[in-house]
């Protein structure tokens, strides 16, 4: 007994709902460390340039840097040690202005007179800036002059325009002299001090013969708070973003489009055959005669292939092939000649 066409339509609709179900909006794919995607669709992956210390007793992995990067300061007077997107491989101690628990997170530093100065803490966040990438370390050793809140307030008051009244100046002086200024006690005013930072401009270099990155020092600001470097690497070149787990790749998109096209073809054909041609049962399928003839086509093709292969098999038992050798032909001819001669002799008699 054939199933009704309504069951077939329900099955198709269920499949369509399963294929077109929207993914969960709450699920987010975490961004891999030391990678970035620009608004133009370019993808950057600097993880191969990250120096990784080998395990104890193990050899360094081939193609993976295992030592820190070094940049010469030349006329600046200091040489720099750093890592890309990770803390330095060789740990440092007694870092100026950094708590002991944070020594292991130092990603760039330099030494001066036996003292270690940090240029920033570990981070793996890359920021695309046009065609280039930027990596920045912050939270290094203290630098620059100490900026006090009261000093900053007095500096701001000194910039009041000439049209201000005497009352405003008097109020400003009272604010500076009073123990409380806008709810903040003078005793609790905290001094703010800047910290060293390092900014790396990651430049694409396809002509480099070295598989690892090369770092060069550019300069620093007068207060020795901001340091600038250039990093040339083949991995800083834009590439195609790899397929992320949980997302639909190009093959999946093509499969979904193909499935939707087939679904529209089947449902549209069934609707036409049922309403216009008044077909029922399996004849509601579009091009039913074509699909019904596929089985006979497959059956005939199978017979043709098996018969062609049977000819190549060895001959069956009980049958012998006729000899076609030259010796066999000569013997047959001799027998024929002898028969002819005997007939001639009988004719003469």
Each residue's pLDDT tens digit, 252-269: 788 889 999 989 988 888
CATH of residue 96's domain is: 2.70.130.10
**Residue 47 per-residue DSSP state:** G
Q: Are 92 and 70 in a shared domain? A: yes
Instruction: Quote the pLDDT of residue 331.
Output: 58
Q: Per the domain annotation, does 151 fall within a domain?
A: no
Q: Per the domain annotation, does 162 fall within a domain?
A: no
Q: Are 226 and 111 in a shared domain? A: yes
Q: Are 14 and 41 in a shared domain? A: no
Instruction: Quote the pLDDT of residue 232.
Output: 92
Q: Per the domain annotation, does 183 fall within a domain?
A: no
Q: Which of 83-92, 204-213, 294-303, 305-314 has the lowest mean pLDDT?
A: 305-314
Q: Are 141 and 256 in a shared domain? A: no
Instruction: Quote the pLDDT of residue 149.
Output: 47
Residue range(s) defining the domain that contains residue 281: 5-22+250-311
Residues 141 and 51 sit within 8 Å (Cβ to Cβ): no
Q: Per the domain annotation, does 241 fall within a domain?
A: no
| Average pLDDT estimate for 16-28 | 46
| Average pLDDT estimate for 235-246 | 70
Domain boundary among 236, 270, 292: 236
C-alpha torsion 240→243→248→249, nearest 10: 60
185 pairs with which residues across the strands? 180
Residues 273, 275, 279, 283, CA torsion sign: positive
CA nearest 263: which of 271, 253, 275?
271
Task: In whole angstroms, give the CA distance from residue 17 to residue 13.
Answer: 6
Q: Are 101 and 219 in a shared domain? A: yes
Domain boundary among 202, 236, 270: 236
Instruction: Quote the pLDDT of residue 243.
Output: 56
C-alpha torsion 249→250→252→253, nearest 10: 120
- What does the mean pLDDT of the chain come to? 75
Q: Are 261 and 232 in a shared domain? A: no
143 pairs with which residues across the strands? 194
Q: Are 122 and 10 in a shared domain? A: no
Q: Are 119 and 256 in a shared domain? A: no
State yes or no: pLDDT of 326 exceeds 70. no
Instruction: Quote the pLDDT of residue 231.
Output: 94
Q: Are 9 and 136 in a shared domain? A: no
Number of domains in the chain: 2
Q: Which of 138-152, 243-257, 259-273, 305-319 has the lowest mean pLDDT?
A: 305-319
Task: In whole angstroms, give the CA distance from residue 218 to residue 202.
Answer: 13
Task: In whole angstroms, give the CA distance from residue 139 to residue 196.
Answer: 6
Q: Per the domain annotation, does 176 fall within a domain?
A: no
Residue pLDDT, tens place only, 69-102: 999 998 888 899 999 999 999 989 999 999 999 9
Q: Are 119 and 259 in a shared domain? A: no
| Average pLDDT estimate for 135-147 | 86
Instruction: Quote the pLDDT of residue 332.
Output: 65
Token couple for 242: 């790899």
Question: Percent of the chain, pLDDT > 70?
Answer: 67
Q: What does 182-206 look like in DSSP terms, one character per residue?
A: TTEEGGGPPPEEEE-EEEEEEEE-T
Q: Are 220 and 293 in a shared domain? A: no
State yes or no: pLDDT of 105 exceeds 90. yes
Q: Outline where DSSP puts E strands in the chain.
A: 35-37, 43-45, 69-71, 80-82, 106-112, 115-121, 126-129, 132-137, 142-147, 180-181, 184-185, 192-195, 197-204, 214-220, 226-233
| Average pLDDT estimate for 216-224 | 92
Task: In whole angstroms, give the CA distance from residue 89 to residue 122.
Answer: 12
Q: Per the domain annotation, does 270 fall within a domain?
A: yes
Q: Are 117 and 9 in a shared domain? A: no
Q: Are strands 226-233 and 197-204 parallel, antiparallel or unpaired?
A: parallel
State yes or no: pLDDT of 34 exceeds 80. yes
Instruction: Quote the pLDDT of residue 349.
Output: 58
State yes or no: pLDDT of 178 exceeds 80. no
Residues 8 and 47 sit within 8 Å (Cβ to Cβ): no
Cα atoms in the Cβ-side hemisphere of radius 13 Å centred on 179: 1
Q: Per the domain annotation, does 155 fall within a domain?
A: no
The three-class DSSP label of residue 226 is: strand
Q: Per the domain annotation, does 254 fall within a domain?
A: yes
């Amino acid at each position: 007994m054939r199933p009704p066409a309504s069951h077939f339509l329900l099955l198709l609709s269920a499949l369509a709902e399963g294929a077109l179900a929207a993914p969960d909006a709450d699920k987010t794919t975490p961004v891999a460390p030391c990678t970035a995607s620009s608004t133009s669709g370019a993808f950057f992956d600097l993880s191969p340039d990250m120096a990784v210390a080998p395990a104890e007793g193990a050899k360094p992995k081939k193609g993976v840097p295992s030592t820190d990067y070094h940049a010469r300061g030349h006329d600046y007077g200091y040489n720099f040690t750093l890592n890309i997107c990770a803390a330095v491989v060789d740990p440092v101690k007694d870092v100026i202005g950094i708590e002991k628990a944070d020594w292991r997170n130092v990603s760039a530093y330099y030494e001066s007179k036996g003292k270690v100065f940090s240029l920033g803490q570990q981070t793996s966040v890359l920021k695309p800036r046009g065609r280039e990438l930027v990596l920045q370390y912050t939270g290094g050793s203290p630098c620059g002059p100490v900026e006090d809140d009261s000093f900053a307030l007095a500096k701001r008051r000194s910039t009041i325009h000439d049209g201000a009244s005497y009352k405003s100046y008097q109020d400003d002086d009272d604010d500076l002299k009073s123990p409380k200024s806008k709810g903040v006690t003078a005793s609790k005013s905290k001094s703010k001090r800047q910290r060293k930072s390092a900014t790396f401009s990651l430049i694409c270099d396809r002509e480099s013969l070295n598989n690892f990155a090369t770092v060069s020092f550019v300069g620093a600001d007068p207060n020795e708070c901001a340091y600038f470097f250039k990093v040339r690497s083949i991995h800083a070149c834009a590439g195609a973003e790899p397929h992320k787990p949980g997302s639909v790749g190009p093959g999946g998109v093509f499969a979904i489009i193909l499935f939707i096209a087939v679904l529209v073809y089947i449902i549209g054909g069934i609707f036409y055959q049922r309403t216009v041609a008044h077909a029922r049962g399996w004849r509601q399928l579009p091009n039913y005669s074509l699909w019904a003839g596929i089985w006979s086509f497959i059956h005939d093709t199978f017979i043709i292939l098996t018969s062609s292969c049977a000819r190549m098999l060895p001959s069956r038992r009980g049958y012998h092939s006729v000899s076609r050798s030259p010796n066999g032909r000569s013997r047959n001819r001799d027998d024929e000649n002898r028969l002819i001669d005997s007939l001639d002799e009988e004719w003469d008699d």
